[in-house]
Amino acid sequence: MTTPSASVPPGPTATAATPLRDSAVVPPSGAWMPGDPVGDRRFLTLDRGFALQGGGVLDEVTVAYETWGSLDATASNAVLVCHALTGDSHAAGRMGHGHPTTGWWKNIVGPGLAIDTDRWFVVCANVLGGCQGTTGPASIDPATGRPYGARFPAVSIRDTVRTQAALADHLGVERWLSVVGGSMGGMQALEWAITYPDRLRSVAAMATATAASPQQIAWSSVGRNAIRMDPKWREGDYYDAADGDGPTEGLRLAREIGVIHYRSEVEFAVRFGRAKSGAHDAFDLWSPFDVETYLEHHGWKLARRFDANSYLVLNRAMDLHDIGLGRGGIAFALERIRVPALTMAIDSDILYPDHLQHALRDQLLAHGVPTRHVDVISDKGHDAFLVETQQVGAPLAAFLADVEKDT
């Protein structure tokens, strides 16, 4: 049973936003908290025990989501957009009023854009374990009256997809026109096509994986350890800490590690070279190169808007991702996909290399799935699916239009 809720779920008081400078002024968590401006979020509460793939149970789950456009009379024009690791439900729209950033896919989702909100009813939900309104580690555990913290159970991509299926039921969407996502969003898109093959008409998975590779797990592990080794993490119980006394140094470092493999060698070389700016141009141990300053800037940006425990939970969910688990392997899992697919590779992606996307394309074609493939040529690395608007948007728009026409 699902209960729609316009009210804000209970939780601790939020810390006010602070300028981006150093750890002394950064709140212990960047999670959205009840009492913060709601912005464009809506909420759905699943009021029965939610069983998780790993065996845990959440007594209550709240899903934060946003919508754009209008559902047509036959409920046939709905598109689900799935976000990546540090994204949220705010795929499009302005910064402010409860949203710490502009829409993360603002050049793809909107009126007249590739995912045209004048044409499609577009939905994006914060994932389970997230920190922007959906139940996660910063949420109140009904059993204790305190934030879950590190007691929040392990969740999976499949668990998130099940919350999205409940949301679809609530919205009156029996079958999505398409489920679309890149990176962790692409994992969700693939899980949708496998878990609910009759509830979508197409799938678009970009820069993603059918299962996390050992190298991807290795990178993730180092980032998680950066958080766990921060003494201010306090085994996950830091939500009552004062500004500057949370695990923001660990989260900042985890983000810096991530940015290295979200971008590419070519971009770093062209953009920064070996430059040192201004007074930092000294031959010593600590004067930063410009690329170091860039990484630190992005580290602090994330520390202000995200939650360290959510980072741990979601990063681990990506490591645990394996579409073949419990299904006889990846090849058998892919046999469940029965709808047209769009796959997309980025030639400079070192996190989810293009050969993984080519393998996915080839496996789908081998199973008789009508599959289009796009190779994005970019020096922007993994993040190209977010920023290469023309190369990503044009084929995506054409794919959606043809799905609408052919089904």
* Set 89, 139, 183, 264: catalytic member: 183
Provide the total of helices (H) and of strands (E) in the chain, helices listed first: 11, 15
Pure H helices in 122-213: 157-171, 184-195
Q: Which two tokens stand for residue 196?
A: 């609910």
183's torsion region: left (phi>0), alpha (psi -120 to 50) or beta? left
Rounded to 5°, angle at Cα 2 from 337 and 30: 85
Q: Which two tokens stand for residue 333?
A: 């899992």
At 171, list the tokens.
């919205």
Strands (E), 223-366: 341-346
Distance CA(187)–CA(190), nearest Å, equals 5
Q: Whole-angstrom distance between the N-terminal and C-terminal Cα of the chain?
A: 31
| DSSP 8-state code for residue 294 | H
Indicate which residue of 83, 261, 321, 382 is catalytic: 382
Task: Please indicate whether residue 382 is annotated as part of the active site.
Answer: yes
CA distance 255 to 145: 30
Q: Which of 322, 349, 379, 383 is catalytic?
A: 349
**Catalytic sites, residue numbers:** 183, 349, 382
